[in-house]
Structure 1
Amino acid sequence: MSRKLHLWELSRQARMQPRFFQKQGPTLSDEGNSEEKIDSFDANDTSDVSLAIAIPPVSQSRKKLLVLDLNGLLADIVYNPSIDCTPDALVAGRAVFKRPYCDDFLKFCCERFEVGIWSSRNRKNVERFIDFLMGDMKQKLLFCWDSSYCTTTQFNTLGHKYKPLVFKDLRKLWEKHDPDLPWEKGYYNESNTLLIDDSPYKALLNPPHTAIFPHSFKFDMKDNSLGDGGDLKVYLERLASADNVQNFVEQNPLGQIAITERSQDWGFYSQVIDTCL
């Protein structure tokens, strides 16, 4: 058994407790510049913030579950945009460049899959970004999670001294650590769940082949990944009819390579994982 699989098995046996918090301690962000240090702390009062999503029931057709990131996947969210670029909106003090074909892509996802959002930004900002990017479509989300649902560590990401390193542990969904999730414990598992995130390290606590890591979207009006014939949409069209997520992902790699014991920085990441066991 590889070291990564061994570590994951130990992690699973440990059955880590979820860390649900709102205002105390650091929460996290998606970019590595100094503005993300501000966004990564719930410094703003969020006690009166609610995502106000009317959670729909899980479809009886057993659609697969997509867990979507925000920044780098659906939009490019930056603090200091180039003066040559005009953002689609200014949200929470950030310039938001919506990815081309984002609206149609989200409609497609909601038709073919059950969909949830999981961002590593704080709750207040996640709400604002979702309102802009999804509008009324947010009512179709099964959940909308923010940084408080991430597994925190005592480390920062490589090359970004202001960006805390966090994980998105899918077991919190599978084991229904949030009682408001609209399914029974065990309804979703590694065979029918896919995390889509542009940061491969965030999936390190999860079983292999339960996530894909598209290259980060940086403002580019010619980008076609989410459009008809685009690599990500075509990939998901095929996944929707596949029998097993893990088997499909293993046989059909897309985007960035997952971090494994063969990765150059595995020594660092294995140390981080060990602290979570």
Structure 2
Amino acid sequence: MSSPSQTLLDQQRLPVEMTINPASQEPVRLEKPQKLLVILDLNGTLFHRNDKRKRTIFQRPHLSVFLNFLFENCRVMVWSSARASSVNSMIKTGFGRNAGKLDRVWNREHFKLDGVDYHRKVLTLKDLEFVWEEIEVERQSATVEELMEGNKYGMHYDQTNTVLIDDSIHKSQLQPYNRIILTGYDLERYKSGTDIELLKVRYYLEQLTMQQNVSAYIKRHPFDPTDKCFESAEFIDIVNNALSLVNSKEQKRARKKAKRLAKMHEDKISIKLSLATSKNTNDMENTEGVKDSDQDMVNADSETDSGQDMENAEDTTYKEQDTASPSQSAADSAKTAHLKIDG
């Protein structure tokens, strides 16, 4: 007797007739959208990296709108032929809080290249079978709750519900009806400032989420950025809303920049006032110090003069004591003479 988990796994597998060649089936539109597995390339698709020395990363226009749609409606992972450090840098640059919502992140190590080819510039093929196999292995050990519809392992992923978004037709050649090939994002497109490719992919993905078998639909209606559907009023509304959001963000950035500059200006004025106040305080302290010094000198001079006066007074007293009056001297002389006669 099979376990509840195994029963769910069996029920979620494709009918036998659809496993033969899913892309050959007629497209069937669903009543409600399904949660597709979307595999994202990075460089040339969502970003442009300039020369190897600077490694500046430029985001493709409307990336945030595109990613918000994906994470709200799809299961999303990254698969890039770049090395882990470069992949992490691009994700950090453009995904923001959505980075934590990624189902998994694959880099060059996941191409199963040998040691020599890993370090060489060789063609790397993205075989979606690797992805499906890994998810299926995880599902084998998932709980019944995790296998319930709407949860992480509630869907069996395969050719009918997986989309690879890339700018390379060669890397995605193994599953040609599971890919959306974008025009590569390069420096020229970055400078033009008019790129709306991600908005077109978003619109196309909306159609795919309503398909029972995306490979059947893609085979008959491959993504074409010049398609007439991108002239529809519905798509024009999407573009206008995205541009409005961009303008709003630019205005916010401008206001933040203005506030930052104003704050810097205020800080400079505050520093100047502080320095001026400090200088005035020092000048006042120096002035008071000079005054005190002058007063001390005056007091010292005064004390010197007083001492001199006292010394002069004492000298006068001594002189007065030493000098007898003429009459007293005559009397003393006469007395002395009388004593001598008597004797």
- For Structure 1 versus Structure 2, the TM-score category normalised by the shorter chain is 0.5 to 0.7
In the superposition, the TM-score normalised over structure 2's length comes to 0.47
Give the aligned partner of residue 137 of structure 1: 98
Q: Which has the higher strand share?
A: 1
* Inter-partner Cα distance in structure 2 for 1:240 and 1:151: 31
The aligned counterpart of 1:226 is 198
CA apart distance, 1:245 = 0.8
1:151/1:166 contact within 8 Å kept: no
The structure, 1 or 2, with the larger RCO (C-alpha pairs under 8 Å, 6+ apart) is: 1
> Aligned match of 1:217 in 168, 176, 185?
185
Give, in whole Å, the separation in 2 of the partners of 1:215 and 1:115: 21
Runs of 4+ in 1 over 4 A off after TM superposition: 153-156, 177-186
Q: CA deviation at 1:154?
A: 11
Cα distance, 1:152 vs structure 2: 3.5
Change in 2 beyond 3 A, CA 1:210/1:151: farther
Q: Distance in 2 between matches of 1:108 and 1:233?
A: 7
| SS, match of residue 94 in structure 1 | coil
Q: Cα deviations across residues 15-42 of structure 1 (Å, max 9, x unaligned)?
A: xxxxxxxxxxxxxxxxxxxxxxxxxxxx
Q: Corresponding residue for 1:54?
A: none
The counterpart of 1:194, out of the listed 119, 140, 163, is 163
Equivalent residue number for residue 272 of structure 1 = none
Gaps of 5+ in 1: 1-8, 10-60, 82-92, 157-161, 257-277
Alignment CA distance shift 1:253-1:155 (3 Å): farther
For residue 226 of structure 1, what is the amino acid of its counterpart? L
More helix by share: 2
* Alpha-carbon distance in structure 1 between the residues aligned to 2:126 and 2:163: 12
CA distance in 2, matches of 1:255, 1:165: 24
Corresponding position: 1:66 with 2:35 = no
Instruction: Extract unaligned runs of 5+ from structure 2.
Output: 1-19, 21-32, 143-151, 226-343
Change in CA separation of 1:217 and 1:172 when aligned onto 2, cut-off 3 Å: same
Question: Greater Rg, structure 1 or structure 2?
Answer: 2
User: SS where residue 171 of structure 2 aligns?
Assistant: helix
* Contact 2:182 2:197 (C-alpha < 8 Å) held by counterparts: no
* Distance change (3 Å), C-alpha of 1:178 and 1:94: farther
Aligned residues: 178
- Please report how far the alpha carbon of residue 176 of structure 1 lies from its aligned counterpart in structure 2 after TM superposition: 1.1
Amino acid at match of 1:242: Q
> How many percent identity over aligned positions?
31
Q: 1:173 aligns with which of 128, 131, 149?
A: 131
CA distance 1:79–1:190, shift in 2 (3 Å): same
Q: Which residue of 2 aligns with 1:101?
A: 62
Shift of 1:235: 0.8
TM-score, scaled relative to structure 1: 0.57
RMSD, matched Cα: 3.1
Shift of 1:153: 7.9
